[in-house]
Every structure is written in structure tokens, then in C-alpha cells.
Structure 1
Amino acid sequence: MTSTPTGVRPEPASFRDPANRVFHVGDEVLRGLDAQAAEHWRTLAASPFFPTLVSAGKVCATEDAPATLAPAAGTEWAAVLRHERIPFVSHPYEWSFAMLRDAALLHLEILRTALAEGFTTKDGSAYNLQWRGAKPVFIDIGSFTPVRDGEPWAGYRQFCQTLLYPLLLTAHLGVDFQPWLRAQVDGIEAEQLRPLFGGTRRLRPGVLTHLHLHGAMQQRNAAASTTDVKAQLRAAGYSRQLQAATVRGIEKLVRRLEHRPFGSHWSDYQRTCGYSARDRVAKEQFVVAAVAAAGRPRLVLDLGANDGRYSRLAAGHADCVVAVEQDPAVVDELYRALRSEGQQRILPLVVDLADPSPGGGWRGVERAGFAQRASADVVLALALAHHLAIGRNVPLPEVVDWLAGLTAPGGAVVVEFVHPDDPMAARLLANKPDGLFPDYRRDTFERLLAARGRITDRLELPSGTRTLYRTVMGG
């Protein structure tokens, strides 16, 4: 067992491939490679296709780590790489349908390009992709390996379980894939999905080939070794050209998959939420000033972002904004809009804030929970607290403590308190037993904020039923 140098944090999600491991040293992201992986890296870096993918922003920027930094990863590695840092790490079960599809298409494009140059990817996991705003990026440099004639794509099963099957589930059945992926870190197994695609559903695009036939092949070869399966494929004439044709076929299939759900209550929220024009102007000015006061924050969380109105305002003064909304349909519409705008500072995510993503995978830390990944310079909680406190029965002190916990030391929370007599709060309270929320009052809320930080600014909106606060936590 090797020891980890002081100050070096091994990445909990990077342990399944012994040939390489990711480490964090301060803000630096390093990857240690064993001797064979280091040889593959040198060939990859010298190839014509890899630098082209990096310069196009499709693969994360990677270089040999400087000599002053490389020893931090430990002495057992033959080479150490340095990667660009992704602004915010997200998980596939926090993505919308269009996001997952675009991630799948990028993975396939990279694989197809690599195959033409004598490389393949040994993994096919959706977790190998991250985001720069609304643009996906492939991050698993250690997955590239020279292709061998007669061998199938090693990542095909992972690709199906974490990308293709979730897309089939939503596109063909209208079922949100997010809870399925959140429940199992390795994705959806073929045998779990097959019962839902019986009868004429078997004939829907991609189902027969990649679900039923693939599942049958897995069962038939369950007792065979990987070596035996490869030998059978070589004997059958399986070639690199056939593999590339298969990838192109999957690419064509994924492009055809579509899902545009009907509008929900939240998709029309900006029009129905009851703000006056004066309220909107005052609120926007307050939010812009609050974000700008943080001095170009590295990370802003917009909780309950809806159509991204305030995320866009914050993005003009911040490096990265994570726009969080619980409705997959709303996030999907926001993503499509941001993608069309070429927006690379706003990342939309599907997260139920009353049930946020927990830690998952091995020992519960392989995939960090939302709260563990969030250490924001500014947290926007606009028209949110009343939905948590009244709509979801979360005690008001818990709401404030939670907001404080998402904030970096010295960071600010910009929160909107909706008074009990506001029409929206009154509507929520009307569906609850009388007297259930005696502490849902403005003075109580202000005391809770003051106990956790320093209220630097407050603004009562012209309507008189909503108040905005900027609070520096721990200040």
C-alpha cells in the first residue's frame, strides 16, 4: 500500500483503474500514470487528433505536470499530468435529457475520432464527461488506449448503462431517468429495463439491438472469459472498421432520440409568480449589486433558478454560475437556450433542493453529494425559502443553516423572504393546518440570518410583501 504525500487529496471517484489516479493539490488537478499508461500518454499527446480535440474544447486541457509539482502525486508513478480544473463537478443524474444526449454524442465523436487514429477508450461511462457551462467536455484522459484489431469497444456496456439506456427510457417511455441513475452508480442494467420494452416496444429505435440482443449476448457469454469472447470475435472477422461502423450507428441512433415534455407549473413561473414590473427591476438591481460586491466570485449558486433570469445576470459578474432547478423539463429548456447562446458560464442542473443529491458509490464518497461540492462565493436563494419552509415543511432555522453550509467562508447569501401575507405564501399556507408555522415571520428570519452572519443590505420590494437580504456568512 502506497502512502499519500501531505497536502495531497486523492480524488475519491478515481480508484477503479489501477493504471492511473487523480489527485488534488490545492487548486491543481494531477493524474499519476503507471509505466504503460505513461507510454500511451506520450503516444496520445504526439498524435494529430488529440491536440485538435483539446483546442476545440472537447477534451480537457492536459499537459505534463511541472517538475516542481509532479512529486506531489507520489513517487510510484512513471508520469504525472496536470489537467485544467472544471468549475463545478456534476453527476449524470443531475443533467437534463438534452444534456445527457449531448454528453453521449461527444463521447461517441471522441471515440470515432480516436479509432481513426489507432486509439480507443477503455471506458464508456457518463461520469467521464463534465461541463463548461452548457458545453460538455471529456475529462478521462486515462481512458485512451491503443486499439487492437479484433477486440470490441471495452466501454460499450458502460455506455449503454449510463448513457444509452437512460436516454431510451426517457425518449421512448417518457420516464425521467434521473432517479434511476441516482439509485445505481453503475447505471441501468439491461435486465432492469427489458421488462419495460416488451411487445411492440421492442421495435422502437435502438431497443432490439442494444437492449434485448445485448442483454441476450451478456447472458449467453456469462460463463465465458473476456479472452474467450475476444477470440470468438476475431474468428468471426470483427475488425476496427466494423467497430467504427458500429459507433457511427450508435451516433445516428442517439441523434434521433428526442424528448420534449409538456410544460409544467414551473416552466411558466416567471409569468405567473405575481411580480410587478417595479418589483422585477428592483430585484434585478439588488441581485446584480450583491454579486458584483463579491469581487468577481468564482462560483455562484442560483438555487431555484427556473428560467435562468438571475443566473444570466450573475454570469455577467462571475466566473461560473450553477443554476439549480428541480423540474427536469425546466432545466432542459434552460439548457437548450444556454446552448443556443453559446453560454459557457452557466451550468443548469436538476436537483430537488429538499432532497439534494447524496453521496454515492463506494463508501458513499465516490460521487460526492451536492452539499459537499458546493462552496459558493455567492448563494442566490430567490423566492425559495417559503417553498422549503411552508411547501416542504423544512423548519426555517434549518433552511438558514443549510444556506450557510453551501457558502464558502466569507461568502454571501442573497435571500428573498416572502412575507406570510404575500399571495404566494398565503396560497401555500392555505393548504396547511392552521398554526403549523408560527415562526414563519420576517423578524424571526432576520434573527436567524444575523445569528449566522452579517446582514449588509436589505431591500423591501415595492409590493411590500417581499424583502431581499444580502448576508455575509460568518462575518
Structure 2
Amino acid sequence: MISGTPTSTPYDEPGSFRDPTNRIFYADGMVLRGLGPDAARDWRDVSQAAFLAPLMAAGKVIGTEIAAADSLPESVVRRWHTVLRHDRVPFVSYPYEWSFAMLRDAARLHLEILRAALTDGVTMKDGTAFNLQWRGTEPVFIDVGSFQPDHAGEPWAGYRQFCQTLLYPLLLQAHLGVDFQPWLRARIDGIESGQLRRLFGGTRRLRAGVLKHVHLHDAMQTRHAGATTGAVREEIRDAGFSRELVQATVRSLIKLVDRLDWSPPRSHWAAYQRTCTYSAADRAAKIAFVDAQLASHPYPGTVFDLGANDGTYSRIAAEHARYVVAVESDPAVVDDLYRRLRADRETRILPILMDLADPSCGGGWGGVERAPFSTRARADTVLALAVIHHLAIGRNVPLSRILDWVTAMLSGPDRAGSDRLGPDGRTGQLIIEFVHPDDPMARRLLANKPAGLFDDYHRTEFERLLTQRYEITRREELPSGTRTLYAGTPRG
């Protein structure tokens, strides 16, 4: 048990409300889960099951313990029967920010945990991909409130959610080569079987997993559309549905998920390090600059590498920081980076897929059930290397707005109330690269734009805007003379 009375006022996680039996909330940077009487009873039974402790010890299920009642505010004690404390994950990401291999590994872990639970008479009432998070390239199941005792004769209640948020996206990309991320971002509940069925007509229905988990599943849902949940469960029990059948279904899903794979198409960004305009001298100077700045920072903490590409600078950052979030917009590049980091057993770098000109917005009920990237993004250092010109010229985002957005990542508490203020009172550092308009890459971008449209895109204007927002601590022009690196701390 933990003790020590919180000094801050607890507040609920905006995305935790769909299960009325338990709720996530925060206090003093701790992640807590309040359990009602029924959920507390389920947790008492589940926590004593043999399957759970080894999974927690292996980091596959989030570390969890009971919070002592005398360490909690009276308002919390009155509200909840039992309160659990969870280990924190370094950064919350969502399935539409994951690559194909990441989603597949998350689905595999979900099924592995369910299979282990079923052997001990425990099941999961949910099956959503949002119940998983990451520690670097290691997925972790976070929703212990989903565990409940298994009742013989009933199917897995989370099967539909699993299909819609994990299996169907994998089928979409593995079989059709269609990126699943926009589909998941558009619908918090995932892809409906009826939607996917229309894409898998004719001989496509014979592809692995499609006939059973898409067509037959959709037919069953259509058949029972007007029936109550209780009536459906009774019909299933009367038909002789057994626990062994659920276990067999989970085993077959594991085999299916293991078979699914995706070969990404050729990508310009996948070869960027070979085709970009950097000279060897530029690259060496840039690596030395970034390494020195990260090493000198008194509180490197969490680093956001915006436009991470192949992860070169993310790996450098990981030598100095506790955690690195590597943001890249190309699905093939993110998938390749994840696979290489996974092979290296890297737990300090999380690659995520996101278009910086269209970052993840709020979603779900009230637009806050899934937090926008801007409210999750609180870093001690932001790397913005060889990315500003793509946003300013390639996507027509004003320099001032780019700098304002980046600066917001370096100040204030995150969604869970953990403040990023360093011990020296500063709110982090920015390491940013400005590509001059006469650089070959900038000239290539400008060639596709009307003349005069970007007259304010030049070094003098960039430095004016930067010094309004930052105290520049170091400035270095790369040997080519067409790119300049800056390091600075936010003003005020």
C-alpha cells in the first residue's frame, strides 16, 4: 500500500467515464483509480488470481497497488470503496498514432493477457486498443478495471471492441494496403464490421480472418440488432457456448494476428538520410551541436523529436534524457523505426505517427475524451531539426505560429498534472534548425510556390521571431552556410 496524504486537489481524467464502476483520477502527479463496490469485489478476486502477478512483473500489465485510505482526501474516501495507484507511463499515445507493427504488437499482447486470464477464470469486459500504452517499444495493458471473473457460457464481451479497434485496422492495412490511422482517428469506437465488409467483397472475403471476423460477425450483429444483451447471452448459453470455445477463439485470433503483416510502399522519406542535401561535415557538426546541448542541459527529462525521420537524433537524445517521443509523419518510416528500436529492446524511445501540420486533435465526448497532442505534449527539450521549412513553405504555416506551437510544449503541467518545470526554474530548451531560403531543399520547396509568397521566410525574420520568445544560448551555422542551429530557453 502507499501512504502520504496528497496535497493537491484530485481531479478526474476527462477520458475516464464510460465504465461507471471505476474512474481514473490524478493527485500529486499520481495516477489513481477509484473502484465502486462491484469493481472492488472484482479486483479482490482478480488480484489473487495466479496469472496477474507474473504479467505485472514482466511489465505487460501496468504496476498497480492499493492506496491506503488514510493517505487520501476524505472526499475520495467517501466517493470510492477502494482506490488503486498505477505506475505512470512516460507519454500517452493513441492507436491512430501507432504504426502497423505497433498496433499488431499491441493486439498480440492484449490476446496474450486474455488467454492467461481465462486459464484462471478471469475475462476482460473490454477489448479496445485504448487500453494499451507504451514504454518505448514495449506495450503495456493499463486497464485493470477491465478484468472481471469469467462466467461460464458467456462469450468474450470485448470481442467487438477488439475487432473494431485492433483486428479490423490490421486487416485493412495488411490485406488492402490502406493506412488505418485516419479511420481510427475519425471514429473513437473504431471501424464497424459493416464498413469493412463492403471493402472485402468477392474473392477478398477469402483473405485471412475476413470471412469469420468480418462477414460472419457482421451477419450476427445484423441478426441480433433488435435484441437485448440479456436475450443474446441467454441464446448463446442455450446453444452450449463454453469457456473452452472462448479460449479456442482467442488462440485462433493470436495465430491470425501473427500472420498479418504489411510491406510499406516506397517512400521518399525512408531514404531521406541518403538523399537530403547534408554534407558529411554538416551532419557531423549537427550531431555534435545536439549532443552537446542535451548533455549540458541540467534537466533533460523528456525530449520531443519533431520530424524524427530514422531516429538518429532521438537515439542521441536517449543517451541524455529519461524518455524520447519521436514524431514522424510517414507511416513507412515510423514502422521501420519501431521495428529497429524493438530489435534493440529500446524502452526510452517511443515512435509515433503524426502530421505536424495536422496534429492529433481532441476526440470523443466533448472533444476531450481523447486529448489533443497539444495538451499531452509537455517536454523538457524540443528538437525541431530540418522540419521548420517543411511546415512554413511546404504547408504554408506562418513562422510565428510554428514557434508559438513549439513553445507551448515546453511550459506548464501535462494532462495528468505533472509539471515539467526544471530544478533551475526554467521550462526547458528548444534546439531548432533554420534552413535558409537558398538551401537546395528550401529552393526545391519554393519552386512549387508563387513568386513573392514567402518573402518573410528568411533568417533575419526568423531570428527576430525566435528572440521574442527565447533567450538564445547558442547559435551555430553549419559548414554549408545554408543552415543555422539555435538553442534557447523560453522567455518569461
Same structural fold, with TM-score higher than 0.5 when normalized by the shorter chain: yes
Q: Which runs of 5+ in 1 are unaligned?
A: none
Q: Does residue 298 of the first structure (1) align with residue 280 of the second (2)?
A: no
Residue 30 of structure 2: aligned partner: 28
**1:408 CA drift (Å):** 2.4
C-alpha distance in 2 between matches for 1:443 and 1:150 = 72
Aligned equivalent of 2:152, options 127, 136, 149: 149
The letter for the 2-side match of 1:141 is: V
RMSD of the TM alignment (CA)?
1.2
The superposition leaves residues 75-129 of structure 1 with CA deviations (integer Å, 9 ceiling, x where unpaired) of: 2211000000110000100000000000000000000000000100100000000
The superposition leaves residues 38-64 of structure 1 with CA deviations (integer Å, 9 ceiling, x where unpaired) of: 121122222221010000110010001
**1:8 CA drift (Å):** 1.4
Aligned equivalent of 1:168, options 148, 168, 171: 171
Aligned equivalent of 2:333, options 330, 335, 344: 330
C-alpha distance in 2 between matches for 1:271 and 1:67 = 58
Residue 463 of structure 2: aligned partner: 446
Q: Does residue 469 of the first structure (1) align with residue 486 of the second (2)?
A: yes
Comparing 225-234 and 319-328, the one that deviates more = 225-234
Comparing 293-302 and 164-173, the one that deviates more = 293-302
C-alpha distance in 2 between matches for 1:271 and 1:112 = 45
C-alpha distance in 2 between matches for 1:107 and 1:349 = 20
**1:318 CA drift (Å):** 0.7
C-alpha contact (below 8 Å) 1:279/1:462 kept by paired residues: yes
**1:292 CA drift (Å):** 2.3
Aligned residues: 471
TM-score (norm 1): 0.97
Q: Does residue 421 of the first structure (1) align with residue 438 of the second (2)?
A: yes
TM-score (norm 2): 0.94
C-alpha distance in 2 between matches for 1:43 and 1:315 = 40
C-alpha contact (below 8 Å) 2:303/2:324 kept by paired residues: yes
Q: Does residue 45 of the first structure (1) align with residue 47 of the second (2)?
A: yes
Aligned equivalent of 1:263, options 261, 266, 277: 266
The superposition leaves residues 288-344 of structure 1 with CA deviations (integer Å, 9 ceiling, x where unpaired) of: 122223334221100000000000000011111000001111000000000000000
The letter for the 2-side match of 1:472 is: T
C-alpha contact (below 8 Å) 2:299/2:380 kept by paired residues: no
Change (3 A) 1:125 1:284: same
Residue 415 of structure 2: aligned partner: none
The superposition leaves residues 331-363 of structure 1 with CA deviations (integer Å, 9 ceiling, x where unpaired) of: 000000000000001000010000000000000
C-alpha contact (below 8 Å) 2:308/2:328 kept by paired residues: yes
The letter for the 2-side match of 1:366 is: E
Q: Does residue 124 of the first structure (1) align with residue 127 of the second (2)?
A: yes
C-alpha contact (below 8 Å) 1:31/1:73 kept by paired residues: no
The letter for the 2-side match of 1:39 is: R
C-alpha distance in 2 between matches for 1:226 and 1:235 = 14
C-alpha contact (below 8 Å) 2:8/2:27 kept by paired residues: no
The letter for the 2-side match of 1:137 is: V
Residue 371 of structure 1: aligned partner: 374
Q: State how 1:339-378 maps to structure 2 within 5 Å.
A: 339-378=342-381
Q: Which runs of 5+ in 2 are unaligned?
A: 1-6, 413-426
The letter for the 1-side match of 2:182 is: P
Residue 241 of structure 2: aligned partner: 238
Residue 387 of structure 2: aligned partner: 384
Residue 419 of structure 2: aligned partner: none
State, as a whole percentage, how many aligned pairs show the same letter: 64
**1:183 CA drift (Å):** 0.3
C-alpha distance in 1 between matches for 2:296 and 2:62 = 31
Residue 430 of structure 1: aligned partner: 447
Residue 214 of structure 2: aligned partner: 211
**1:69 CA drift (Å):** 3.5
Residue 460 of structure 1: aligned partner: 477
The letter for the 1-side match of 2:27 is: V
The letter for the 2-side match of 1:20 is: N
